[in-house]
Structure 1
Amino acid sequence: MGKMNITSLGNKIKNEDISFLNRDVAEKVKGFHSSFPQYSQTPLVELKNLSEHLGINNMFIKDESYRFDLNAFKVLGASFAVGNFIANKLDIDIAKLPYSVMTSDEVKAKLGDLTFVTATDGNHGRGLAWTANQLGQKSKVFMPKGTAIERVENIRKENSDVDVYDANYDECVRMANDYANTHGGIMVQDTSWDGYEDIPRWIMQGYMTMANEAYEQLNSSGQRPTHIFLQAGVGSLASAVTGFFANVYSDNIPTIVIVEPEKANCLYQTAKADDGKIHNVDGDLDTIMAGLACGEPVTIGWPILNSYASYFLSVDEIYASHGMRLLGNPKKDDKRVISGESGAVTSGVVSKLMTDSELADIKNEIGLDENSVVLVFSTEGDTDKKMYRDIVWDGRYPSY
């Protein structure tokens, strides 16, 4: 059995301001994203046969491998942050700056040459580089040691200046910020700190397009989730989706469960400490869940999770590998979902909770049973194809 630890903050006072993550804002964000010619709604896959096998009412997975042909959701946050930066620079509401206007010669002449800077494990950097390339601007990307070559090359294909450094993710964030400050670049990062909160907030808002689509798709099928499992790195995605669903389901908020790799479990450690302080995790953060290998929580997101998330799970690698195999080899006529390490971990967790008797206490504490309707997000496809094949084809990281 894989290692899994759980912590809860108990009875919460739900008083954190989440108005910036409400449905009206989400509709405005989706309006911006839908102005891009590459936009289309990603699938919400209903896994009826898997649900029956696991002993739950139903399970839905939002498949972000289709997002803008970039194989991951991260472009949603990067593009909306860049769009808002440009809108503020021009003193124009972003609602009046769709893709067709933002790429016009007139706007480009007003903006001049801009360089957007970031640190990334792969998907965020690719999304930022793609956005900059689409808008005729430049990007500079810092990547941590151990980054898969495929992820580096995908960023380079977007005409980005990208390099891998002998540093972990959080160290790359500081390097990127120093570069931006020294060279007049624009830092676009979902990690926040004192004096740097606007862009991380816009990134969180950008992620709402994914949540908003899922909400509409669930409504159209007459379903409402009882449980939402969300993977977390710094916690921007988790905070954004938590805030959105806390708004739209304010009368009965689903049980929200945050999942992190054991080797980079900064939110779990922060929740477990329960002292009101942010707790970072240091070291190499060496996990196959590269998109979640972050040791410092997003400061503007933690209060949302503190108020509205129900449980925090710290899990080892086998839950990611199990989830990848589970989704890639569906039961009966369930649709196949190609999900990478960071995308599949929540599905792996749900599956193991329902089938592993040694996890029964955690399952019962979370309240998973035959009446549960579960929503998860596959945030990436096979963004590292070699790793995907090593795990799904060849049995790397056995899921038992």
Structure 2
Amino acid sequence: MSTPVTDPGAAMTALMTPEGKRDPYPLYEALRAYGPLLRLGPDQLVVTGHAECFRALREPGLLSTDGAVQDRMMPGWREHSSWVWLARNMLFSNSPDHERYRRFFSGAFTPRRIAGMRPVAEGLIDGLVERLAGLGADGAPVDFMAEFAFRVPMAVMGALLGIPEEDQAAFRGPVGDITTALEPIRDLAQLDRGDGGMDRMAAYFTELVAARRAAPRDDLVSELTRARDESGELSEEELIANFMLLLVAGTEAPMDLIGNALRLALDHPEHADGLRENPGLAPGYIEETLRFDPAAQALNRMAATDMEFCGVPLTAGTKVTLLIAAGNRDPRRFPDPLRFDPYRTGNHALTFSGGAHFCLGAALARMQAETALPRLLRRLPGIGPAGEPGFRDQLVQRGFDRLPVKCG
């Protein structure tokens, strides 16, 4: 920002502008000047502190945005298919539905399954690195986001769920459209784009579930469809809603992680050289990327009843905005937090949420990024920027829309 913003209301408003979304970090620091907990009127609390976000993510009295919460926060949402489907998945649910969904899907991301996916992911990533090298062989700029960062997690999730390779590239549009429904809105018409993406994806998964029910294969859709039919634990709509969540969260978040990790490597060539020489540095590098420039910037909660949170009285219905990306740069938790340091120890970023809602796919996302980045940098030692990147007009799920690179 060209001038410092000191008024908290103005800082929050600025966060919703295209400029604020491109670089929200100075605005987080402006908000932090008012302390880790900031009241914006009687019905909103903004949280910027790491310890306070950590506690909020584990506080049962602070509800995730399920249907009942949306009835208070976004009347009219039931007319929009994006949120009708979102309210049926585990991310936007509370007890007892959340425990039911989580129990049903937790077996999909066990350490054993993730370990079994590693050689599959390595083979897919090697192929996509070679594909990128071929696309950029003539020196022409290549959009890293479209041609690599999205394709890596899409290929991995495609293999896991059983989505045919020929169908995968077409998902980038619907996945991106759906994430726009998570943004703060002033007009319900802003959900139309998300509705369209959700409708297309729901139709696809409805057909895929029917196909795998009729002729099962060795994939997660077949396995969980059979489990649903045998147990009756989920409705058909809940099954499809959570398959869509797995695909959206399992592609968008790793895509942004890989994109941000590469941009930081280009900005810090000394760290890129370190990864080329020693891929064992990748876990620390990826953890620092998750802290320093995460895709997930904010989460919402609502006070279920009148309660006290970290000494602040909240009335029932108070909206609690968790600026987890600000918490990731809290100087009370991280020394020199504005410096990108992949050798940082004790790195406990908030990016994958926490408590009951900790991301089921966190280990899979880390594994992909830790595998992809060193292999990419070794194969393309001359990779570099080829123009200005473009950001999506989003804050909650923030990331590059395009990242042009030259491959050597």
Give the TM-score, by structure 1 length: 0.29
Give the TM-score, by structure 2 length: 0.28
Question: Which is greater in Rg?
Answer: 2
Structure with the bigger percentage of strand: 1
